[in-house]
A and B are shown apart, each in its own frame.
Chain A
Amino acid sequence: MDNGLTSAADPADIPPREVVRKVLDVISGRALLRWTMAFLTVPRLVLLLTLVLCGATGWWTWSTYRYRAAVATLEEELPLAQVAFDAGEIDAAIPHVRAAARAGRVIGPKSVRAKSAVQLERELEGWRRLATMHIGQFFAEHEATPPSEFAEAFEFAFANRTLIVDGLLIATDASPGAADPHVAQSSVEYTLDWTWIDEEGRQVEFVFEQCPAFAHIKRGSSERVILAAEVERIVLASPGSSHWRAFFKPDSVTFLTALGPLQRAGWPGNTDIEDVLLEQRQRLGINE
């Protein structure tokens, strides 16, 4: 029956060559181009540009407002945070440090004060998540724990908890025989000169592996550091031995820069600590 309308061609009626051409059009974007050219009439183009301009203006206005607000917040909160930190009042510093750090992240790392605020927040988190049990206690409590359960118990007690360490960090080869200086620095691991040995001869040492924060400490050299880091895991140095190696999370390493909390924790007062902190501030680029 003919209803006056052109009846759609049955796909089966389309010749195979036409099908191939349409596919190639779509693939090559020629179809899209034809459609776009057909869509972008002049009235439509003017309308579109107007919308983009309005959107950009709105975004800029909001960003500017947000930046200015962040600057104002930083100016207000950072001194308060620093005062609290200098006094070693961690809890009192929390709201100020967090507000300042938020503002700092808005302002960006080009601002030293913004970087300081973010750094303070990292240090704050370090101080807030300190391990409650010390190594000696842990060893005493797990005197009879078999080695197979020792690692699990250790991780339960210390994993994701922070330790503040102050000592010499010694860069050594991660694998024996890799003493070649051309071997990548990433194969270097950093051992803290703090170790615990119990009456049974069990020993644990603390190790940082592949830690970008220590890239400046070259293989075979050492440097005194004061930092906070989270314990990640503990493994036996070799099967059957009693020598354990506790590894820190590389990305949790936070160099400490504030003296107040250290003094509050009981650090003996002497100038060499201040020298270390100053050096670390300089390395982080927050020494004003």
Chain B
Amino acid sequence: MNLQRVICAVYGVAVVALTTFVVAGEPLDELDVHQLELSPARYLDRELRVVGRFASAGAGKMRLMGSKIEFRLGPEIHLFANPQHVELVGRLEDLGGKLVFNTQRLTKIPSESQRFEDRKKMLTQVNYPALYQLSDWALQRAQWYNDSHLEQQAQDAWVQAFRWEEDDIARRGLADELLALADRGQQHEIAPSELARMRYRALLLKVQKLQPGDSAQRISLAENVSELLPGGDRPPRSPTQDSEQDQSKWWIQYIQSDESEREAMHRALYRSLVRDALLIESNRIESDLASLVRQAQEMVPEDTRLIRELERLELERRAQALATLSRRDALTLFSQFERLDFHDRAKELKSSWLAGRRLALDRAEIEDRVALARDYWQLLHEAETAEALLRESLSIGPSPDAEAALSELGFVKIGQNWRRPMDSQPLTPVADGDVVVGSSEQLVIQRLGAPDAVARTVGAGWMLELWRYEGPPQLFVYLRRIAATGKAAVVKIVAP
């Protein structure tokens, strides 16, 4: 029973509401007076709701600011004191060429600024087109009334809509749209720094979408950076080492930076793209690494690390054919590695190159052995290997060159043996004067170093000392020490 009553009540209310709507007709659109002035013929003989700024009133007539239309007020219309902003409902008629608006109702309304603010409050960030419209609405009225305050409000609203749109596009990852938006912003005289920020953001979006291994895409993007972002095409005055940083943090760091720092970041983005592109290219077997080095020097001269790395790769490629290189080319290659501070690698290659030459030595070859020994000493300072090669040479046959080389290495010929200098002593070329019978102990020490062990036997009026050098080769030097003077001289040298 109750349910039937409720249904009937709802039905009744609906019928009443529908009837009211039909009877009242379609609600009237708000028409600003300047719109009416622009094309009055369009609105003739229609009931209108016109808003405008009050200018003057008297004798049942009223004028609105900027309008030539005569607004007639009936006796029943009550005119407010200082109405300022009004809404008039009535009908526009053309009376012999004169436009007359017969007002049926007059209402005082808030100002355009106030209405603008009220409408703006109702908008959310996603609804940036509505904010653009609101900005246009305010701008039209500001221009009609020459209202600078309202014009500023309109401009601010446009900028805000622009940013909302930027965020929306960025959120959707549409880099090209964002670039286009920046171009649009340029037409609206958005600050260049803001435009640069938007373009940087757009280009970062493009960086995120780069295909792995696509160097052309990176170079193209780098060119975009160079063209669009201030400072992107300007290398810093000093070499720069970019720290490894997560790309996702670039944007956060960017918006926290000042303008000069941002220019540096534009260049860093350019550098990063060029570096990646060139490194990708360098990994291709068919790539011309020398050309890539030149490209890097031209495009990112400040990135010395990249240039060095590309140079290293170029040298490494040449080093793959090390065994086939001429001596001159090999030495050039080593020196180039050293120039780049890759000393360990240079040493490794030298060692490998020399070892290869050693393996290829003919069993009876003397001159090549001597030459190789000299290279071992000059390139690697490997005295032991040089010594071994020179001794091999001498074991094959007499060789003045080998003897001269041993002498240059600081070895001393004692009898038929070449004596290795003490390890603690630098290998320096020696002067004339070998250790022979009669040499003083000072000369022995000077030439052979301190002995490894000393033993003495003493009799009546004599003392014999044995100075033992463990070598190789092992060497016994016997000295007789004179008690009266305390001096000792060599009496015998034996290489057991």
Q: Hey, which bits of chain A sit against chain B, CB under 8 A?
A: 130-136, 161, 163-168, 192-197, 206, 264-268
Contacts and interface: CB of A to CB of B under 8 A. Distances in A.
Contacts of B100: none
B433 interface: no
A226 to B, nearest CB: 9
Contact of A164 (B458, B481, B491): B458
Interface stretch (B4-12, B169-177, B460-468): B460-468
Looking at B460, B461, B484, B492, which has the most chain A CB atoms within 10 Å of its CB? B460
Contact of A130 (B460, B481, B486, B492): B460
Given A193-B468, A197-B494, A130 B459 contact: yes
B459 A163 contact: yes
B453 A168 contact: yes
Nearest to A192: B455
21 contacts: A134-B457, A134-B459, A136-B464, A163-B458, A164-B458, A165-B456, A165-B458, A166-B457, A166-B458, A167-B454, A193-B453, A194-B457, A196-B478, A197-B476, A206-B457, A264-B483, A266-B463, A266-B481, A266-B482, A266-B484, A268-B481
Looking at B456, B458, B464, which has the most chain A CB atoms within 10 Å of its CB? B458
Given A136-B491, A197-B494, A167 B456 contact: yes
B458 A265 contact: yes
Contact of B455 (A133, A161, A167): A167
Interface of B: 453-464, 466, 468, 476, 478, 480-484, 486, 491-492, 494, 496
Nearest to B483: A266
A222 to B, nearest CB: 10
Contacts of B457: 134-135, 163-166, 194, 206
A86 to B, nearest CB: 17
Given A164-B457, A194-B466, 14 more contacts: A131-B459, A131-B460, A132-B459, A134-B462, A165-B457, A166-B456, A167-B453, A167-B456, A193-B455, A197-B476, A197-B494, A264-B483, A265-B458, A266-B481
B491 to A, nearest CB: 6
Given A197-B494, A264-B483, A266-B482, A135 B464 contact: yes
A132 B484 CA distance: 17
A131 B463 CA distance: 11
A195 B459 contact: no
Contacts of B496: 197
A265 B464 CA distance: 11
B105 to A, nearest CB: 128
A132 B461 contact: yes
